[in-house]
A and B are shown apart, each in its own frame.
Chain A
Amino acid sequence: MRNRRVRKVKGVLWFVLGVTFVVACARFFSGLGTVTDLTDRTPWGLWIGFDVMAGVALAAGGFVLAALVYCFRQEKFRPLLRPAILTAFLGYVAVAVGLLFDLGRPWNIWRPMFFWQHHSVLFEVAWCVMLYTTVLALEFLPVPLEGSRFHGVARFLKRFSLPLVILGIMLSTLHQSSLGSLFLITPGRVHPLWYSPILPLLFFVSAVGLGLAMVTFESRATSWLYGKKSEDPLLISLMRPLAVVLLLYAGIRFVDLAARGVLPLAFEWTWESTLFWFEMVVSALLPAALILSGAAKKGGRALSWIAGLVVVGFVLHRIDTAGISGITRAGVRYFPSWEEIVTSMGVVSAAILAFLFFVERYRVYPPEEEPAEPAPLPPVRVRYRQFTAPLATARSSSLLFVIGAALAFALLPSGAVFGARLVETPVRGSRRVLARDGSGQELLLVDGNRANELTLFPHDEHVKRLGEKACAICHHMNRPGDRETSCYECHRDEYVATDLFRHEDHVRALGGNAGCAKCHADPSLAKSRGNATSCLECHEDMVAGGDLVPKPAADSAFFAPSYMQAMHGTCMACHEAEDEKNGEAVPKLALCGTCHPDPRDFEPTAARGRTQE
Chain B
Amino acid sequence: MEAWLDWARGPAFRFALALLVLGVLRHVFLLVAGIRLAMKRAGDKKLPWKAILKSTVSWLFPARHLGQSPFFSAASVVFHAGVILAPLFLVSHVYLIEQSIGVSWPTLPAILADVLTGAAILGLGTVLVLRVSSRAARALNRPVDLWLPSLLLVPFLSGFLAMHPALNPIPFDAMLLVHVLSGALVLALIPFTKLVHFVSLPATQLVSEVGWHFPPDAGERVAVALGKENQPI
Contact = CB atoms under 8 A, between A and B. Distances in A.
Given A410-B15, A411-B11, A527-B92, A516 B22 contact: no
B95 interface: yes
B95 A513 contact: no
A524 B90 CA distance: 10
Contacts of A377: none
Contact of B166 (A394, A514, A525): A514
A514 B165 contact: yes
Contact of B37 (A390, A418, A503): A390
Nearest to A414: B10
Contacts, number: 79
Interface in A398-416: 398-399, 401-403, 405-407, 409-412, 414
Nearest to B167: A513
A398 B26 contact: yes
B110 interface: yes
A237 B94 CA distance: 68
Contacts of B94: 526
B63 interface: no
Interface stretch (B28-36, B50-58, B129-137, B195-203): B28-36
B109 interface: yes
Interface residues of B, dominant DSSP: helix
A524 B91 contact: yes
B91 A526 contact: yes
A406 B18 contact: yes
A interface bracket (residues with beta carbon within 8 Å of B)? 35 or more
A516 B92 CA distance: 15
A403 B96 CA distance: 25
B143 interface: no
B interface bracket (residues with beta carbon within 8 Å of A)? 35 or more
B125 interface: no
Interface in B68-126: 91-92, 94-96, 99-100, 109-110
A509 interface: no
B12 interface: yes
B23 interface: yes
Interface string B1-31: 1100000001110111111001100100110
Contacts of B227: none
Interface string B140-184: 000000000000000000000001011010011100000000000
A529 to B, nearest CB: 10
Given A418-B100, A504-B2, A512-B171, A398 B10 contact: no
Contacts of A395: 30
A451 interface: no
A528 interface: yes
Contacts of A402: 18-19, 22-23, 26, 191
A22 interface: yes
Nearest to A515: B165
A410 B187 CA distance: 14
Contacts of A391: 30, 33-34, 37
B226 to A, nearest CB: 13
B12 A524 contact: no
A286 B11 CA distance: 46
B19 A403 contact: yes
| Most chain B beta-carbon neighbours within 10 Å: one of A391, A394, A409 | A409
A513 B171 contact: yes
A410 B109 CA distance: 33
Contacts of B171: 507, 512-513
A517 interface: yes
A411 B92 CA distance: 25
A264 interface: no
A343 B100 CA distance: 26
A409 B14 contact: yes
A410 B165 contact: no
A501 to B, nearest CB: 12
B33 A399 contact: no
Interface in A495-540: 503-504, 507, 512-514, 516-517, 523-528
A516 B11 contact: no
B95 A528 contact: yes
A509 B162 CA distance: 19
Contact of B22 (A390, A406, A414, A503): A406
Contacts of B2: 503-504
A417 interface: yes
Contacts of B1: 504
Contact of A409 (B15, B96, B109, B172): B15
A417 B15 CA distance: 12
A514 B109 CA distance: 23
Given A22-B18, A394-B33, A503-B2, A526 B26 contact: no
A412 B23 CA distance: 19
A405 B165 contact: no
B176 to A, nearest CB: 10
B172 A516 contact: yes
Nearest to B170: A513
A410 B14 CA distance: 5
8 contacts: A390-B37, A395-B30, A398-B26, A402-B18, A405-B22, A414-B10, A504-B1, A527-B92
> Nearest 6 A-B pairs (CB), nearest first?
A410-B15, A526-B95, A406-B18, A513-B165, A409-B18, A524-B110
Given A517-B165, A524-B110, 20 more contacts: A22-B18, A390-B37, A391-B30, A391-B33, A398-B30, A399-B26, A402-B19, A402-B22, A406-B15, A409-B18, A410-B18, A418-B100, A503-B2, A504-B2, A507-B172, A513-B168, A513-B171, A516-B165, A523-B110, A526-B92
